[in-house]
Amino acid sequence: MSDNPAGLVEDSSVYRTLLESTRAIPWKINWRTMQFEYIGPQIEALLGWPQDSWLTVDDWATRMHPEDRERVVNFCVSQSEAGVDHEADYRALTEGGEYVWLRDVVHVLRDDNGDVEALIGFMFDISERKKTEDELVALQKKLEEYSYKDGLTGVANRRMFDTVMNENWNHAIRHQSSLSVILLDIDNFKAYNDLNGHLQGDECLKRIATLLENAAQRPRDFVARFGGEEFVIVLPETDASAAISVAERCRQLLLEEQIPQGDSPNSKKVTISMGIGTVVPSRDDCIADFLDLVDQRLYKAKRDGRNRIVFD
């Protein structure tokens, strides 16, 4: 091995050539001056900013997406001050005004006294990776939506109802607030299907699901398909009189919808029966018992002639 200084220079040029031939962008920052001592020429091809325009850490920070800047800068500074190697993902501004996702992999250099002397690292273009990650997140979200949504009507399904009901029940216990539930059933729906066909029956379910959502107007009001031709409306922080008003609004919207029960426009119109329950639950109360009470009221409405509301 040669101890010729020229050999060291030659080695240094080889290392630089290797660094600058990779897609990763090498850089070095002097911690004391907060100035770039080096950044690879690949930065210009990626972001458009000239290599010699990267002078200080301010150039790095100001060329970062405003939504990422505070989080990333604070994280990198705190990790660097602690002497901890780290990574950070953020969106970098191109000279053309667009953004590219970068990952900075940072190594902290210390002097003989243990003080931070410099930061060296690599920038990686991770735009394609981020795009794939975002697509996977969107797909996962969509799959979760499907798992909690009724495939026919588009409202929540029974599984989602169970989750929301539990959450609202516990909230009502903590805050000692009223919780109301409306359980409703489409009258004579089997006969409707037999006469009009299942495709028309599906359309009827969709129309009723939509009008129920229109009747339950507050942000926390919740509509789900309970099963078959049954639907449920959960009304947090709602007393009995307010719940009855929502139920009456459901009947009025259905009346305006004028869905024929038979195959003639002049036939009787589709109607619904409803049972309503209101409770200020305690920890000794049981959701299943409460829902069973509401269910009994629904079937009382049906036994008493249908197209009616039972709330006590």
pLDDT (0 to 100) of residue 5: 44
Instruction: Report the distance separating Cα 110 and Cα 106, nearest Å.
Output: 13
> Along the 312 residues of the chain, how does pLDDT read in single tens digits?
444 444 434 556 655 665 666 679 999 999 999 999 999 999 999 999 999 999 999 999 999 999 999 999 999 999 999 999 999 999 999 999 999 999 999 999 999 999 999 999 999 999 998 988 888 888 777 777 678 899 899 999 999 999 999 999 999 999 999 999 999 999 999 999 999 999 999 999 999 999 999 999 899 999 999 999 999 999 999 999 999 999 999 999 999 999 998 766 667 899 999 999 999 999 999 999 999 999 999 999 999 999 999 998
Q: Is 229 a residue of the active site?
A: yes
Specify the CATH architecture of the domain 148-310: 2-Layer Sandwich (3.30)
Q: Locate the domains of the chain by residue range.
A: 6-131, 148-310
CA 273 vs CA 68, 209, 241, 295, 296: distances in Å: 53, 14, 17, 11, 12
Residues with Cβ within 8 Å of residue 303, at least 6 apart in sequence: none
Fold of 6-131: Beta-Lactamase (3.30.450)
- Sign of the torsion formed by the C-alpha atoms of 149, 161, 256 and 262: positive
Identified catalytic residue from 87, 98, 145, 229: 229
Rg of the chain on CA atoms, in Å: 33
- In this prediction the pTM is 0.59
Taking each continuous run of H as one helix and of E as one strand, the counts in the chain are 10, 10
For 153, list phi and psi in degrees, rounded to 5.
-90, -20
